[in-house]
Structure formats: structure tokens, C-alpha cells
Amino acid sequence: MTTESEQLVKDIEDMKVKGAYQITKVALEALGLRARELAARGEAPTPALRAASSRLAAAQPSMACVANGCGYVLGALGDELTPDQVVQVLAQRSQAFLAAFDEAQQRALHVGARLVRDGEVIFIHSYTGTLLETFRRARALGKQFRIIATESRPYCEGRFMVSELLKLGIPCTIVTDASIGSYIDRADKSLVGSDSILANGNVVNKMGTYLLALACRDRGVPLYAAGNIFKLSMASLRGDEVRMLRRGDDGTVAIAPPGLPADAPITVENTIFDETPARFFAGLITDQGVLPPPAIAEFRNHPMLAASA
């Protein structure tokens, strides 16, 4: 029988949960449920919770805020705590982390909405809850603008993003990913999200962001990545490799040509994220304002990040 906590972990692994904040929230909820399940059985919770945290981080290896959140809530656990005390500590620290994350996100949205100019055309890539809410705020300020969005294959998150933008009354043009170079010079600026921001200012985001950055540089279109400081990768600060989420032909999308024999000498590479060098960005849209990308590392000593290091 699948427990509630196990189901939440599987939902994250199966990419049924979208958006960095929501994924982090569900990950912390899964840890809290696991702690209560273990307490109900009278089992020692700390080793199992650390294993669950590692599994959650592995499910979204390119998303720093998941590792940061799990690291923070587990950082106060010790063998001297009873199972009931562990449940209480996890609940308190999860609430504190999510509240701080949300506050930072609200400030970043304010910065982003101010960066949107009336009458401009903005090029975006993939779905990002941060940009969707940024555009919602910009519209609430009375700004009129247009969006050019990629499909963002193979999962086509860009189509979902466009459907949400249309609900806000924002005119959109959707293009194939391969058309980025042909359409980028129609935009005044390009905005993307970020799943992680590395210590050197490089940005991990949906596959294709690097190609978009190259096109922006060639055409002189300024590129910005949005993300609050909770997306700073503490792993990169330690010098650890930041792994990119990869999937094969998983039944949701089919990349390989159909009808191949089982022994066909073909390998499917379906990497979900890529790493774009800091030098391609005009700035990072953060809760601390628009920053030069390498400046993100200055926040390494934030108490909720340092606790997860």
C-alpha cells in the first residue's frame, strides 16, 4: 500500500508537480508526512527522513530550492529527539522556510513587474510560475505588452504558459524552439526562469535556454533570469557537480523514430535542463533587485541557506 508521503514523492519524480515553489512545498509536506508515519509506528525517524530527502533531491537534481528546503528542515534533527518532537520540529521549520521563500518570491515579482515596460515585446522560454505571476502584476499596473513564447519541447510547457497568459489578456505568439534565432530580434528583451543559480552566476533552466542566450547575444537582445536567492545552489558553492535531470522515452513523449527494432543502436538523450553561462545575462531578477549574476554568491550566509550547506 502506497503511503501519503510516498505518493507525494512519486508525484515529484513523475513531474506531476510544477513550479519551484510548489515542488519545494510538496517536498517538505512529504517529509512531514513521512515523519508522522514513522512516529505512528514508533520507528526512529531521522535516518529514514534523510533517505527521503536524498530521494527528493535526486528527483529534482537541477532545482536548488528543493535541496535547500530539505536541508534546512532536517538541519535541526538529532538523535536525542523523540519521534513526536521530530514531527514538531519539521512542521515548524517547514513553515518558516516556506514563509521566507514566499516573502522573497513576492519581492522578486515586484522587481520583475517593474522591469516590464509598457508596449514592449518579451521573448520567453518554457513555463515558469515566477514569470507568469510577474506578468500578472505588470498587467495589474496597467502595462500593455506582448509575448513571444517557445513550445519548449519535448514536454511543451510553453503551450501551457501561453494558455495561462491568454487568460490574463496578454497577446501571445507561439513558435517552435528551432525558430528562436529567427524570431528573437522581434523582441525588446527576453525573460526566463531559473531552477538553480550557481555560485558563478550560471543559470540552470529548461533545455534550450542556452540556445536562446546565444541568439540574444547575437541579436543584441538583453536576457534576464528570474529567481530569488533560495535558488542559489549550495552544492555549487561546495564545488559539487550540479546534475541535470534526464529522462528517456518515458511514455509521455517519444523522441526516437517509431518502429525501430529492439536491438537498434540508438541512445535517447532527453536532458530536461541546461546550464547557461552568467556572461549571457544582463541581470538576475531577484528579491534583492536586479543583480549581476555572480553577485548571487554573496548570499551564501543566509541562515536558511547556510543551514543546508
Active site residues: 195
- Name the nearest CA neighbour of 123 among 101, 153, 152, 100: 152
CA 217/CA 227 separation, integer angstroms: 21
Distances (CA, A) of 119 to 25, 128, 137: 35, 22, 15
Buried-state track 189-222, b at ≥16 Cβ within 10 A, e below 16: bbbbbbbbbbbebbbbbbbbbbbbbbbbeeeebe
Distances (CA, A) of 91 to 7, 21, 38, 43, 272: 19, 17, 15, 18, 32
CA 225/CA 232 separation, integer angstroms: 13
**Residues 200/236, Cβ–Cβ less than 8 Å:** yes
Distances (CA, A) of 282 to 67, 161, 292: 27, 23, 7
Q: Is 206 helix (H, G, I), strand (E, B) or coil?
A: strand
- Name the nearest CA neighbour of 293 among 280, 306, 309, 274: 280
Burial of 232 (0-12, 13-18, 19+ CB in 10 A): buried
Chain mean position to CA 112: 16
